[in-house]
Structure formats: structure tokens, C-alpha cells
Copies of this chain bind each other. A is one copy, B any other.
Amino acid sequence: MTVQRVSMITLGVADLDAARGFYERWGWQVRQATPQIVFFQMGTLVLGLFPLPALAEDQGRADAVATLGMGGVTLAQNYATEHEVDERFQAAIAAGATHLKAPTAAPWGGYSGYFADPDGHVWELAVNPYWELGDDGATHIPEDLPAQ
């Protein structure tokens, strides 16, 4: 059966404690942690921090650690207001993120900024006026947009 879902996102990190520290400084709460992995509950999915060598080994390519990259994937958090985007962006920078692109009006009609976490994982903070943002954070593409 075809299932369109993402259950967990795993971010490979160079230093587990350092990576955890960044996300905690940004305001997140750890749901479960062991010396090997750290989990955050993210609404209906889970985000994990996992040391890069362990991630590469888990992927069945322990010899590929050096060539695992970041940046070709972005993770977005949508907010209701530009003020929230600005505030959370500044909080990320204050927590140790690398500034990539200041939040600004986007050509597609929204509002968006980018930063990289200490391992190079790229986050976008955005307002998307065309998508539905539930009180629980759920993001839905409206039904009245054309599907192709």
C-alpha cells in the first residue's frame, strides 16, 4: 500500500551534545535521549539527532561519512506572522545558527528567511499566505488549489 508520510527526519551531526545544545538554546524540548541519539517530538513526526558516523553506518555505507553532505535538503517551519518569523530567526542566530538569508518578502508572495544549524542543516522560517496553518501547526495545501 502506498503511504505518503514522513515519520522521522534524522539530522547527522558532528557532536551530539553540541547539536542538542543548539536546538535546546533555540527553545526545543528533548522528548527522549540516550548517549547515542536525541529525539524531539515534532507534532505528528519525530526529529532525531544522530552522529554522522553512526548515520552512515546505519545507512550501510560506513565508508561514506566524509561525503555525506547537507544543504540539498531544507526543513521549513511555517508561522502565521512575519513577526514570529523574525523573532524565531533571531533566536536561532542567538542560539548559534549561521545566517544565510535574512527574513524578507519572497518572490512567491510569502515571507522567508534561512539559517544553517551548526552542522549545516538548513532551516527556512516562513509565512505562506496560500497554505493553511492549523492551531496545532499542521500544514495543508488548500483543497481549492489545482492538483496536477
A6 and B73 CA atoms in complex are apart in Å by 13
Sorting the interface of chain A by its residue count into under 10, 10 to 19, 20 to 34 or 35 or more gives 35 or more
Chain B residues near A1 (CB-CB < 8 A): 84, 87
Chain B residues near A55 (CB-CB < 8 A): 72, 74
Chain B residues near A147 (CB-CB < 8 A): 29-33
CB distance from A123 to the nearest CB of B (A): 9
A residues 99-128 touching B (CB-CB < 8 Å): 100-101, 112, 114, 119-122, 124, 126, 128
Q: Decide: A30 near B148, CB < 8 A? Known: A3-B137, A42-B6, A70-B73.
A: yes
Whether A64 is near chain B, meaning CB under 8 Å from some CB there, is yes
- C-beta contact mask, A117-148 vs B, less than 8 Å → 1, else 0? 00111101010100101101111110001111
A146 touches B73 (CB 8 A): no
Q: How many copies does the complex hold?
A: 2
A76 and B87 CA atoms in complex are apart in Å by 30
A7 and B146 CA atoms in complex are apart in Å by 20
Q: Choose from B84, B114, B119, B124 the contact partner of A72 (Cβ within 8 Å).
A: B119
Q: Decide: A2 near B26, CB < 8 A? Known: A8-B139, A59-B114, A74-B10.
A: yes
